[in-house]
A and B are shown apart, each in its own frame.
Chain A
Amino acid sequence: SQKIEQNSEALNIQEGKTATLTCNYTNYSPAYLQWYRQDPGRGPVFLLLIRENEKEKRKERLKVTFDTTLKQSLFHITASQPADSATYLCALDPLGTSYGKLTFGQGTILTVHP
């Protein structure tokens, strides 16, 4: 069956370090992979999208990699800050459309300690 797993339920790091979150999937051939941030009591907010033919994408302190051979995406936050503390969700879009038919991982709770 199709499955998406975010390897860590929770990740704690010190301010200034790089946070690395992992998203693994099986039995998918996703066209797009997206990362979202979710703060407590709020809806997810889109961060980055990476396409199957892209190896890496960057946006400010964020970097996403996509390895379709390993079936894995890594999400990095460099120079992390306490304000980066949130739940981060990966989502697969197997059709490469924006119909809204995304399949989400269960999320990783990131806590950045001052």
Chain B
Amino acid sequence: NAGVTQTPKFQVLKTGQSMTLQCAQDMNHEYMSWYRQDPGMGLRLIHYSVGAGITDQGEVPNGYNVSRSTTEDFPLRLLSAAPSQTSVYFCASSSPGGANEQFFGPGTRLTVL
């Protein structure tokens, strides 16, 4: 199992550009989520999904879009990048029941100039 994979690992964008951060998991998890991590602020939830075709907003959704067409993939789209979106982005997945643990990907470090 590869677990949760994220691409790219690093990205530099100019203000106003758009891009998609990719996230995939091979554990057949129903639940997937996106967090951003900024110094001193911990991880903040952007969007989450409880299954294919179902998504909802988290704490900081503005400027981001998501969709979930398959169980495996949960891409995060930046519509028009802003310097405030400079951050490290983590994708996570989990399944109902059990220890409720979240499995995190390795992260994407995004810089917006």
Contact = CB atoms under 8 A, between A and B. Distances in A.
Contact of A43 (B44, B97, B106): B106
17 contacts: A4-B42, A34-B100, A41-B106, A42-B106, A43-B92, A43-B104, A43-B105, A43-B107, A46-B101, A98-B31, A98-B94, A98-B95, A98-B96, A98-B97, A100-B45, A104-B43, A107-B42
Interface string B66-104: 000000000000000000000000101111111111111
Counting contact residues on chain B (CB < 8 A from A), the size range is 20 to 34
Given A43-B107, A100-B94, A104-B35, 10 more contacts: A34-B100, A43-B105, A44-B43, A45-B104, A46-B101, A49-B100, A98-B100, A101-B48, A103-B59, A106-B41
Interface in A68-85: none
Interface in A26-77: 32, 34, 36, 41-46, 49
A104 B102 contact: no
